[in-house]
């Protein structure tokens, strides 16, 4: 396992962190949870009917030692969750509606995070991103001062580590969204011991082209510098100017980013999603994530094509986020 995850393991071990897995009967979830519990990194809380989870685990020869099972239909504190959910939704649902909604594994699991039973949640092995993110936005909500959550990938290749954002959530972010995203991505980079040097990307470098799209990025840089003046950040920059020192010297000689960027903020979701997948497939980078940032408590979304190792790593990241 790379140093990236070895450091996270050292951070979370012994911290008594509890992470919810709404897909408690999924083979990938069960096998990853078994490893996490055996290594005493965290306590997995598996959502599902207790007997059904036990039968499935037995079929897979998975030990449930060190884990908990929570059944939305037979939870001893269900009424407490119902009342808390009604209050949190501020009259948008009735008690009867809340009881029905909390039968959904993701809503139920998110409420366990909200009421402090668990410190984070990992879902998405069998659910869509919307299924995972919607309860988080309705219940956990974003941190004070943060308007939107965003999804980042940590791109890893040997000793190289970079942050790519937003690759998962916001389709067409505004200047203020991009500025907020940059600041939150800096915090994520610090969690992984990645030096923070932020490039706000575009198809233009420092005014080489002018359009509403390039102005949006330039304005985002101004806003981010105003909100977090200590950050090393610049833009708008083309990727080569942000990543290649010789190109930076020619295209942006006065920039504080001289081909040494470590955090890349893409101007749109399509650019970010395409960019990380190109780096993954053509550059042989490992793409770790998406990691959701900006929430009051960590909730992270797996790909439905994930494997056991992906579940293990994202749970480890979620545990580490809960400590920051």
Question: Buried b / exposed e across 107-117, counting CB within 10 Å, b at 16+?
Answer: bbbbbbbbeeb
Are 273 and 304 found together in one domain? Answer: no
Q: What pLDDT is recorded for position 75?
A: 92
* Averaged confidence pLDDT in the chain: 93
Q: Which helix (H) or strand (E) holds 201?
A: strand 198-201
> Containing domain of residue 112, as a range?
3-141+295-321
CATH number at residue 226: 3.40.50.10750
- The whole-angstrom separation of Cα 96 and Cα 75 is 16
| 85 domain-assigned | yes
pLDDT tens for each residue of 65-98 = 999 999 999 998 999 999 999 999 988 889 999 9
Judge if 275 and 162 occupy the same domain. Answer: yes
Rounded Cα–Cα distance for residues 46 and 25 (Å): 8
- CA separation for the pair 12, 25 (Å, rounded): 25
pLDDT band at 229 (very low <50, low <70, confident <90, very high): very high
Burial 235-252 (b: 16+ CB within 10 A, else e): bbbbbebbbbeebbeebb
Instruction: Express each pLDDT in 161-205 by its tens digit.
Output: 999 999 989 999 999 999 999 999 999 999 888 999 999 999 999
290 assigned to some structural domain? no
Residue 226 predicted with pLDDT over 60: yes
Percent of the chain with pLDDT over 70: 99
**Whether residue 30 is found in the same domain as residue 92:** yes
Percentage of the chain lying above the pLDDT 90 cut: 81
Q: Rounded distance, CA 63 to CA 50, Å? A: 14
Q: How far is CA 44 from CA 37, 39, 86, 119, 297, in A?
A: 7, 12, 27, 11, 16
Contact 181, 173 (CB under 8 A): yes
Q: Give the C-alpha separation, 136 to 318, whole Å.
A: 14
Give the mean pLDDT of 117-131: 91
In the chain, how many domains are there? Answer: 2
What DSSP string runs through 51-110? Answer: HHHHHHHHHTT---TT-EEE-TTS-TTHHHHHHHHHHHTTTSS-HHHHHHHTTSHHHHHH
Q: Is residue 110 part of a domain?
A: yes
Q: What is the dihedral of CA 322, 121, 307, 3, to 10 degrees?
A: 0
Domain harbouring 62, CATH code? 3.40.50.10950
pLDDT at 2: 62
* Distance, CA of 20 to CA of 96 (rounded, Å): 24
Q: Check whether the bond before 307 is cis (ω within 30° of 0).
A: no
Find the mean pLDDT for residues 100-124. 95
Is residue 191 within 8 A of residue 152, CB to CB? The reply is: no
95, 86 Cβ separation under 8 angstroms: yes
Tell me whether residue 239 is in a domain. Answer: yes
Tell me if 252 sits within 8 A of 205, measured CB to CB: yes
Spatial distance between the Cα atoms of 75 and 115, rounded to a whole number of angstroms: 14
- On whether residue 165 sits in a domain, the answer given is yes
Per the domain annotation, does 287 fall within a domain?
no
């Amino acid at each position: 396992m790379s140093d990236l995850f070895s450091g996270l393991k050292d951070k979370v071990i012994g911290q008594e962190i509890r992470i919810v897995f709404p897909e408690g009967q999924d083979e990938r979830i069960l096998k990853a949870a078994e490893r996490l519990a055996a290594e005493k990194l965290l306590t997995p809380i598996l959502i599902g009917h207790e007997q059904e989870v036990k039968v499935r685990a037995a079929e897979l020869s998975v030990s449930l030692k060190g884990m908990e099972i929570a059944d939305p239909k037979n939870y001893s504190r269900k009424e407490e969750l119902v009342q808390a959910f009604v209050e949190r939704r501020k009259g948008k649902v009735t008690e009867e509606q809340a009881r029905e909604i909390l039968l959904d594994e993701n809503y139920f699991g998110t409420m366990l995070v909200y009421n402090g039973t668990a410190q984070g949640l990992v879902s998405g092995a069998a659910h869509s991103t919307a299924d995972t993110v919607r309860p988080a936005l309705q219940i956990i909500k974003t941190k004070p001062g943060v308007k939107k959550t965003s999804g980042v990938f940590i791109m890893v290749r040997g000793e190289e580590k970079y942050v790519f954002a937003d690759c998962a959530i916001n389709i067409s972010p505004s200047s203020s969204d991009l500025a907020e995203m940059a600041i939150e991505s800096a915090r994520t980079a610090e969690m992984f011991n990645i030096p923070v040097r932020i490039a706000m990307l575009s198809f233009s470098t420092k005014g080489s082209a002018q359009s509403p799209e390039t102005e949006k990025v330039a304005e985002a840089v101004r806003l981010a510098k105003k909100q977090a003046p200590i950050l090393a950040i610049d833009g708008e920059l083309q990727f080569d100017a942000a990543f290649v020192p010789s190109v930076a010297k020619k295209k942006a000689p006065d920039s504080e980013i001289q081909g040494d960027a470590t955090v890349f903020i893409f101007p749109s979701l399509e650019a970010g999603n395409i960019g990380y997948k190109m780096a993954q497939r053509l550059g042989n980078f490992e793409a770790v994530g998406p990691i959701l940032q900006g929430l009051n408590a960590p909730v992270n979304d797996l790909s439905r094509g994930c494997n056991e190792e992906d579940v293990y790593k994202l749970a480890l990241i979620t545990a580490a986020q809960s400590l920051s």
